[in-house]
Structure 1
Amino acid sequence: MPEMPEVETVRRTLIPLVKGKTIKKVTLWYPKIVATDHQQFIDELPGKKILDIDRYAKYLLIRLSDNLTIVSHLRMEGKYHLTTPDAPKDKHDHVQFEFTDGTALRYNDVRKFGRMQLILTGTERQTTGIGKLGYEPNSKEFTEAYFIAKLKRKHKNIKNTLLDQSIVAGLGNIYVDEVLWQSKIHPLSIASKIPEDKVKELHTKINHEISIAIKMRGTTVHTYLDANGNAGGFQKMLQVYGHVGEACPNCGNKFEKIKVNGRGTTFCPHCQVNYQ
C-alpha cells in the first residue's frame, strides 16, 4: 500500500503533469471507484480547472476551480498516469479525466480498492475519512508532548496503534516495522507501557524516517510507481522489512516474523524490548 512518502511523491510528480489543465470529459469505466454520486462526478467536472494538488496523510486532494476538490485514496495499488484519450485502455484503467489540451489522466487500480470523492473544498474533515486521522509526522502539531499524551491512553499494542492512523497519520506496515526496530521497541509492546524516553526516541525516528523516505521518492516493494511511472528508491535502505531470517545489523540475531492483527511484522527478538 502506498504510504505517506509514496503518496507525497505521487503528488509532486502529478502537479507538473496536470496543474492548470481544464477537464473536458470524465469517463467512469468502473463507477464504484467514485464513492460520491457518479452522475454528479461526470456532470460537474467538465469545465473545471486543476488549480493544485495537496495531500493529507495518504489522501490526495485535487483542488479544482469553483471550490471543488477530488479526494483520492490510492489504497493498495492505485496509480495515476498521463496519456491521451485515444490510447488503448488497460484492463485496470478505471477512471479517465480528458483535458482540453488533448491529454488525459487515467486512474489505474488492479484491486479496485481505491476511492475518489467529489466534495466542496475545505470540507475534507467533515465529509471524508480525513476527519478521523491524527497528525502527520514532521507537522508542527505532531509534538513530543502530543505523542506521549496520546500513547498513554492507548492500551493496545504499539504496532496496531501506529497503524490505525488516529494518533499519527500516514504510517503503514513498512515504516512502522522500521521505526520500531530503530527505537528497539517490540511491536507487541503495550503503547501505554512504553517508557517516556522511548516514546521520545520513537517520535524522533518517525519524523526522520518519513523525511528520508520522501527524499528517496518512496518505497517500491510490490507495485508502487509515481505519476511518471518510476519506482521509489527507499527500498534499498530498508533494514527490517523484507529481511526476515537475516541477521539484525545491531546484534547479529535473526529477524523473525509474526502476524499482528493480520499484518506481517518483522522484528528482532533480541534488540526490541517488549513493554507489558
Structure 2
Amino acid sequence: MPEGPSIVILKEEVQAFKRKKIIAVSGNTTIDKERMLNQTVVDFKSWGKHFLICFKTFSLRIHFMLFGSYRINERKDAPVRLGLQFTKGEINFYTCSVQFVEGDVNDTYDWSVDVMSDEWSPTKARTKLKANPDMLVCDALLDQHIFSGVGNIIKNEVLFRIKVHPESKVGNLPPKKLSELIKEARVYCFQFLEWKKAFVLKTHWLAHTKKICPRSCSIHKKTFRQNTPQDVLL
C-alpha cells in the first residue's frame, strides 16, 4: 500500500493538469464518473494515503488500497478503474478505491494530522497518544487519525531508529522517547520522499522486510504481552 510520501510524489507529478478541463472519462468504477466530464481541476491534494482531485463543488478521493497503481500519459495492460483525459495528456488509475467527497475538501480533512502537511501538529499527536496509554506503539503509528500517511515501512524504520519495541505500550514510553517517536515519524517521511525520488529507498531500510531485528528482537511477532517499562527499549 503506498504510504504518504508516495502520494505526495503523485501529487507533484500531476501538477501539469491543474486548472485543466477533463474532456473524457473512462473506467470500470461504479461511481458517476460522467460527473467529472467538462469539469476543471481546481487543485490536487494529498492527505496521508488519500489522493484528492479537487473540483469547484466536490472532490474525488483515490485510495490505492493494497495493489493500486497509476499511470500518467500512458496505460498499462490491465482494466482501468478510472481514466481522466485532458486535451494534452491523461491520468489512469488501477485497482483502487474511488469515492466522491462533497463540498469543500477542507471541511472533511484535518490537515494537522497529515505527517507531511505544513499544518502538521506534533502537539495534537502527543495529546492523542497520551489519551491512549494502552495502545501499542506499532498500532499508534499506523493510526491514520494520529499519523496520517504512516504505513508499515515508516512504522518499522521509525521504531528501529528510536530503539523502541513495537509491542511497547504508549503509556510506558518516557516523555523524551514519546517526543522522539513524534519527531522521527515526520523526519523519516521526508527522507522517504527524498530517497524514493532518487530510486534508492530500499537501500536505506534498516528493519523493514527483516523477520529478525538486527538488535536480536523479533519484529513481526503475532502474540502480544503486557509490557513493563523495561520492555520499551530495544
In the superposition, relative to structure 1, how do residues 14 and 123 fare at CA in structure 2: closer, same or farther (>3 Å)?
closer
In the superposition, relative to structure 1, how do residues 196 and 190 fare at CA in structure 2: closer, same or farther (>3 Å)?
same
- The runs of 5 or more residues in structure 1 that have no matched partner are 32-37, 219-230, 262-272
- The runs of 5 or more residues in structure 2 that have no matched partner are 224-229
- Deviation of 1:27 after TM superposition, in Å, equals 1.6
Quick one: distance in 2 between partners of 1:147 and 1:30?
35
Deviations 1:136-192 (A, max 9, x none): 22544422x433332222112111121121212110111001111111111111112
In the superposition, relative to structure 1, how do residues 10 and 242 fare at CA in structure 2: closer, same or farther (>3 Å)?
same
5 Å matches for 1:1-276?
1-16=1-16, 18-31=17-30, 38-39=31-32, 41-42=33-34, 44-64=35-55, 66-83=56-73, 90-101=77-88, 103-109=89-95, 114-123=96-105, 125-126=107-108, 130=109, 135-137=113-115, 139-143=118-122, 145-154=123-132, 155-217=134-196, 232-245=199-212, 248=214, 253-254=215-216, 256-259=218-221, 274-275=231-232
What is the TM-score with the length of structure 1 in the denominator?
A: 0.72
Quick one: distance in 2 between partners of 1:206 and 1:177?
10
Deviations 1:218-246 (A, max 9, x none): 6xxxxxxxxxxxx8432211111023347
**Matched residue of 2:11: which SS?**
helix
Quick one: distance in 2 between partners of 1:167 and 1:61?
19
Quick one: distance in 1 between partners of 2:54 and 2:105?
12
In the superposition, relative to structure 1, how do residues 140 and 93 fare at CA in structure 2: closer, same or farther (>3 Å)?
closer
Indicate the RMSD between aligned Cα atoms, in angstroms.
Answer: 2.9
User: How many residue pairs end up in the alignment?
Assistant: 227
More helix by percentage? 2
Residue identity over aligned pairs, in percent, reads: 20
Task: Give the letter for the 2:211 counterpart.
Answer: V
Greater shift, 117-126 or 47-56, is seen at 117-126
Quick one: distance in 2 between partners of 1:124 and 1:73?
18
Quick one: distance in 1 between partners of 2:90 and 2:119?
37
In the superposition, relative to structure 1, how do residues 10 and 141 fare at CA in structure 2: closer, same or farther (>3 Å)?
closer
In the superposition, relative to structure 1, how do residues 14 and 256 fare at CA in structure 2: closer, same or farther (>3 Å)?
same
What is the TM-score with the length of structure 2 in the denominator?
A: 0.83
Matched with 1:227 is: none
